Amino acid sequence: MKTEQTALAHIAKEWSILKGMINSSQEKSFFKTGSSLTAIDDFFNRIALDRQPMNISELAEALQVLEHLTIVTADLKKVSFANWLDRNRYRTSPDIGIEKRDDRSVAEKKDVQFPIQENSSLFRLLVKTHDTLISHYELAYFHAQGEIPCSKFTYSQSDLKESQAIYDIETTTQDEVTSDNSTVIKDLVRRGVTIYGAAIIPRNIDDHKDAILMEAIENFAGDKISVPHSRANKLYNFGGQFLHGSLLREFTNTTKLVEGDIQGIERGRTTGHINWSKDGNGKIYATINLKILTCSYANPADEYSPQQIFAMGSDGISLIELNDNELEKSMEQCAKEVRGETQDNIVPIANIKAKIEMVKNESGTGYMLKVSEFTLKYNTPDLVSTKADEPLEHILYRKN
């Protein structure tokens, strides 16, 4: 687990060393004014952010700012860095699907107002920086889209039966209401729950029994919310945050840090979506997709040890422990994702995908909810499921 420096921060250290050389050597001639040196310095500070995780849009912006620089080639021609990269068979931001930004102000487009020599140490560092940003962006993008996870564990029917959190869904949904009397209404209002993939627009978002939402539930279920243990009643009482929280408990119960073999990882900020639908036989089911954006750990044996909070690093694969300086920015980025202001702009630590079916309850007098499919994917090798087999390399090189 990278609790110290990411690759981008290492590059910033290299820049700091190079800057010292520039200030005391002939390479200072690259900079016609002090403001030019400051502009480059600001750029490196921005892309490293003192190890603070960058979201996907920030990685894209850093790439585009970098590609906007002017390069003086070996034959003394001035070209954009993007043009030089393309001519020398390097990939640029358009090659990896980043749309060209035309909304930047004139001031933003003039970040650096001097040409950089192709044979300089600074130029070589910029090429290295660009290569790192490209790699980070690609991996972060794919992980944010739920693709190429580092590990994936799909529960067998035996695993489903052995899970306490999943079993609790079956037993609790045989009750009439949740323990805190929460319902699906708020989830429908914020569009965290949909029916047939469509959001239901309420007449009054402050009415916890909004007529439009209540009618939509009953029309979908085919019976009445007021009837205990009916299909509409189960969806109304248990079809939202209850399922969200129950499935996240399975993450807490089965996730461990590889380093130190530490269990007891708690989920932090999360976002997700539940869609209710029917199969060809009219059976009601929900597909659930959840994203764990941060997680935490507190040592139960030491009540004075501070809580550790983790998020994904800028490289899209490393789990990093956030320090006090990084916490505020990371939490704000997560909050925007949760509120829907951004979408897939943060690499989740893990993804949960589940299917829940509405079936007859044990007494046969009504309905309950039952998990029929459950998959947990990790986007970092620093976390694994306790249910998964231990990788062979861990067994071979385990310390006695």
The percentage of the chain sitting over the pLDDT mark of 90, rounded to a whole number, equals: 62
pLDDT at 10: 78
Confidence of residue 13 (pLDDT cuts 50, 70, 90): confident
- The CA dihedral of 379, 382, 388, 393, to the nearest 10 degrees, is 120
Backbone conformation region of residue 50, classed left if phi is above 0, alpha if psi is from -120 to 50, else beta = left
pLDDT at 36: 62
pLDDT at 93: 94
Is 304 within a domain? no
Say whether both 257 and 391 belong to one domain.
yes
pLDDT at 399: 43
Pick from 7-11, 108-112, 141-145, 287-291: least confident? 108-112
Say whether both 55 and 176 belong to one domain.
no
pLDDT at 400: 41
Domain boundary residue among 144, 169, 204? 144
Is 306 within a domain? no
Say whether both 184 and 82 belong to one domain.
no
Residue 3 confidence (pLDDT) above 60? no
Is 337 within a domain? no
Is 18 within a domain? yes
Sign of the four-CA dihedral 134, 140, 146, 149: positive
Rounded to 10 deg, the angle between the 121-144 and 56-67 helix axes is 150
- 310, 349 Cβ separation under 8 angstroms: yes
> Residues 42-94: pLDDT tens digits?
777 766 545 568 899 999 998 998 898 888 888 888 899 999 999 999 999 99
Say whether both 100 and 195 belong to one domain.
no
Say whether both 58 and 183 belong to one domain.
no
pLDDT at 120: 81
Is 83 within a domain? yes
Say whether both 202 and 266 belong to one domain.
yes
Is 186 within a domain? yes
Say whether both 80 and 192 belong to one domain.
no
* Higher-pLDDT residue of 32, 145: 145
CA distance 189 to 182: 14
pLDDT at 398: 45
Residue 107 confidence (pLDDT) above 90? no
pLDDT at 136: 93
Domain boundary residue among 128, 144, 160? 144
How many structural domains compose the chain? 2
CA distance 324 to 310: 12
Say whether both 243 and 360 belong to one domain.
yes
Helix (H, G, I), strand (E, B) or coil at 183: coil
Q: 198 is in which domain, residue-wise?
A: 151-293+348-396
Domain boundary residue among 125, 144, 163? 144
pLDDT at 20: 78
Q: List CB contacts of 157: < 8 A, sequence separation 6 or more.
A: none
Q: Which residues does residue 271 pair with via DSSP β-bridges, in sequence order?
A: 291
Say whether both 28 and 174 belong to one domain.
no
pLDDT at 30: 55
Confidence of residue 245 (pLDDT cuts 50, 70, 90): very high
Confidence of residue 1 (pLDDT cuts 50, 70, 90): low
CA distance 117 to 12: 20
pLDDT at 397: 41
Rounded to 10 deg, the angle between the 34-48 and 56-67 helix axes is 150
Is 336 within a domain? no
The percentage of the chain sitting over the pLDDT mark of 70, rounded to a whole number, equals: 86
CA distance 218 to 40: 61
- 214, 225 Cβ separation under 8 angstroms: yes
Say whether both 236 and 384 belong to one domain.
yes
pLDDT at 390: 60
**Stretch (H or E) spanning 202:** none
Say whether both 77 and 131 belong to one domain.
yes
How large is the average pLDDT for residues 233-242?
Answer: 96
Is 333 within a domain? no
Report residue 257 as tokens: 């840090």
Residue 35 confidence (pLDDT) above 80? no
Say whether both 233 and 365 belong to one domain.
yes
pLDDT at 207: 76
Sign of the four-CA dihedral 336, 341, 347, 349: positive
